[in-house]
Every structure is written in structure tokens, then in C-alpha cells.
């Protein structure tokens, strides 16, 4: 992730505070849809790397994904199937932590691929149409 990602998405993340969301997984990426499971256009999308935790205890990471254990890995995210987005905590260098109800957190560290100023890649983004 880069400072650009946080700068571009800060207002959208602020608007998501206190709203219900639903997590779904696509290989090592995770999406949080807001307000309605089927509604399009209201979501946060996060590509690897990221770390999922609760009460400062790591539950899993994007790098732990394997195709042959996908179903078991998905079970770890049951607390986020339906939750509330509480807040976000920006780091000093562009990393961010998404905070959900019951103390669940998704830490999105800096992504080395984002260091290239010529790249249009966004490690994560938020969309609220």
C-alpha cells in the first residue's frame, strides 16, 4: 500500500464507519461489502499482503492461503461474515489497520510493489457509489 492509497480512500473509509459489512474471500484477496450482501458499488477490496487478528493475536495472513485448504482457511473469517466497520488507523508510512466489531482487525502493511511512482496499482481501495 502507499500513501496514495490512504489519501485516495480516506473519505470513503470515514463514510463507512459504523456501517454493517460482509467479508468474502477470493484467493488471497478480501472484500468487505457494505450495507447489503448483494449490493454492488459499496466495498473495500484488499489484495495481499495483509494480516487478520483479534486482540493483538494473529489469526491468519494472506500468505497462509493455499488452494487445497481454502475452505478451512475461509472458516477463520467467520467473525467477519457479518460485522460492523468501526474505524481505521493510519500508520506513519501509509500502512493502515481496518477495525471491526468485537476487536477484529485487518492490518494492511506497505506493499513493496507500490514504491514505483509510475505504477497505477492500488494495493487496496474503497468504493462507495
> Reading across the β-sheet that carries 57-61, which strands appear in turn?
57-61, 51-54, 104-108, 96-100, 83-90, 20-26, 29-34, 42-46, 124-128
pLDDT at 39 over 50: yes
pLDDT digits (tens, 9 = 90+) for 49-104: 999 999 889 999 999 999 999 999 999 999 999 999 999 999 887 789 999 999 99
> How many Å apart are CA 38 and CA 35, to the nearest integer?
9
Whether residue 127 contacts residue 14, with contact meaning beta carbons closer than 8 Å, is answered with no
Rounded average pLDDT over 7-32: 92
The whole-model pTM stands at 0.88
Amino acid at each position: 500500500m502507499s500513501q496514495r492509497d490512504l489519501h485516495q480512500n480516506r473519505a470513503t473509509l470515514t463514510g463507512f464507519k459504523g456501517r454493517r459489512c460482509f467479508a468474502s474471500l477470493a484467493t488471497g484477496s478480501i472484500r468487505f461489502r457494505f450495507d447489503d450482501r448483494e449490493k454492488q458499488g459499496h466495498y473495500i477490496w484488499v489484495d495481499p499482503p495483509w494480516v487478520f487478528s483479534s486482540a493483538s493475536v494473529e489469526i491468519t495472513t494472506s500468505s497462509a492461503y493455499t488452494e487445497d485448504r481454502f475452505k478451512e482457511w475461509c472458516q477463520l473469517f467467520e467473525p467477519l461474515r457479518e460485522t460492523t466497520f468501526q474505524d481505521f488507523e493510519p500508520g506513519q508510512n501509509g500502512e493502515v489497520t481496518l477495525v471491526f466489531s468485537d476487536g477484529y482487525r485487518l492490518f494492511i502493511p506497505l506493499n513493496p510493489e507500490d514504491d514505483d511512482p509510475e505504477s497505477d496499482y492500488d494495493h487496496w481501495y474503497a468504493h462507495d457509489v
